[in-house]
Amino acid sequence: MQIVTTHKGTDFDGLASLIAATMIYPDAVPVLPKSVNANVRAFMAIHKDLFEILHPREINLDEVTQLIVVDTNSWKRLDGFAPLQERDDLTIHIWDHHHGGDIKADMVRNEGYGSAVTHLILELEARRMVLTPILATLFLIGIYEDTGSLTYPSTTPEDARAVAWLLDRKADLSVLSGFLKQVYGEKQKSVLFEMMKNPERRKVNGYTLSFAAVPIEGHVANLSVVVNMFLDLENSDAAFGVFYDGEGSKCMIIGRSTAENLDMGKLMRTLGGGGHPGAGAAQFKSDFHNPDAVFTMLCNLVENDQVASVQLGDIMSFPVVSVEATTPMETLGELLRERGCTGVPVTDNGKVVGVISRRDFKKIRKEKQLKSPVKAYMTPSVVEIEAEKSPLEAARLMIKHDIGRVPVVEDGRMIGIVTRTDVMRYYYDLIPD
């Protein structure tokens, strides 16, 4: 007997992978865990008649000869299949996109795509298999959910290629919004309220981290949605929600990160959990008496993270060409032509007081205006950024303020400048090794 199953708390990527696997393994029986997330539950309430799905309690484990696992590589995340760990005669295939895992398999497909179902879709495409519009739509929801509609940093070209193939098979985009809803009810609202009462912020390894610990009574679904909202409200590089039961015997940590070099999945794998670069979670038994100790533990993990962080100090231009506020515009014009730069900072006794660009120089209409000081035409509001910040943060400032260059400061002193060109070179891998 062949069976295919996925992780507890099944999301759309897990469900889509489960169904897609039955097309690749036509003799396999799909086994859906008892616990699924609210969006999947809503989908199955309407579509369950389309799929002949069994539950773990309906499977006689003694009859299982092959186990196909999708969207996870962890025994503890499977529902009711722990006894199969002791079987030496069991063939195991894994289709996943998470790093790590403890299931020893005969075949593993994990190319690190943004979603697990992408692996299976590309296999279906290679086999020239026919999809109904409903199946194509389900598979599309699976990809969109795990890649944030192809916007998460973990998204790969293969995910986009799979989406194009599904759309060509009449996947219905209008259906997505109906099921990819973040469930946010009274319980979630109450938890977020508690998190915002007294959050803690710490600066670690160049990142701003926010923490909140909240006791949880009973089951509260979609805590990840709450942590996402907490991250947005705190406007930090990363946020951690620490949730524990009343007796303090169990602790769950959910982390979210917007920093390009802070791999949340890697941090959570250190704690026995897992996830993606932007999102991760871990659950463990612990005597929870001191939230500050848990925060410190997480800070230590971030501090000791060996992922190289590219900072503005690594890509900025220096020494900086600048002009004094009293410099005549005529002199500025000569400088811009000689240096070939599009703009420079304006200083007054060594302090940056503005920025002036070629665009400002073009405002001159009369020859006598060439004698005017730079300060008469400069943009006086200075947007600065610290050297340990990332290129992503510099890009955000440029977009927000519609500027092409930002002075880089350290201890209040300008040490360099980062331009649009510097940022583009970094993002498009044009910086030489």
CATH, residue 222? 3.10.310.30
Same domain? For 256 and 157 the reply is no
Where does a domain end: 122, 153, 180?
180
27 and 49 part of one domain = yes
Q: Average the pLDDT over 336-358 and give the result.
A: 84
Question: Is 206 inside any structural domain?
Answer: yes
Residue appearing with tokens 């990160």: 257
Domain span holding position 139 = 2-180
DSSP 364-389: --SGGGGGSBGGGTSB-PPP-EETTS
Give percent of the chain with pLDDT exceeding 90: 41
**Final residue belonging to a domain, choices 304, 336, 367:** 304
Residues 216 and 263 occupy one common structural domain: yes
Question: What domain count does the chain have?
Answer: 3
Q: Is residue 433 part of a domain?
A: no
Torsion sign (Cα): 120, 126, 127, 129: positive
Q: Is residue 283 part of a domain?
A: yes
Give the range with max mean pLDDT: 30-34, 354-358, 387-391, 397-401: 30-34
- pLDDT at position 266: 81
Assess whether 237 and 327 both reside in one domain. Answer: no
pLDDT of residue 432: 38
| 229-279 residue pLDDT tens | 899 899 999 999 999 876 656 788 999 988 877 888 888 877 777 777 788
Which of 271, 304, 337 is a domain's end point?
304
Whether residues 319 and 287 share a domain: the answer is no
Q: Each residue of 308-326: pLDDT tens digit? A: 456 788 788 878 888 999 9
- Per-residue pLDDT tens over the stretch 295-308: 888 888 888 764 44
Cβ-based neighbours of 287, under 8 Å, separated by 6 or more: 248, 249
328 plus 418 within the same structural domain: yes
Whether residues 15 and 141 fall in one domain: yes
- pLDDT at residue 249, as a whole number: 64
My answer on whether 32 and 86 are in the same domain is yes
Are 169 and 202 members of one domain?
Answer: no
Question: Are residues 42 and 64 both part of a single domain?
Answer: yes
Each residue's pLDDT tens digit, 182-209: 666 788 889 999 999 989 999 998 899 9
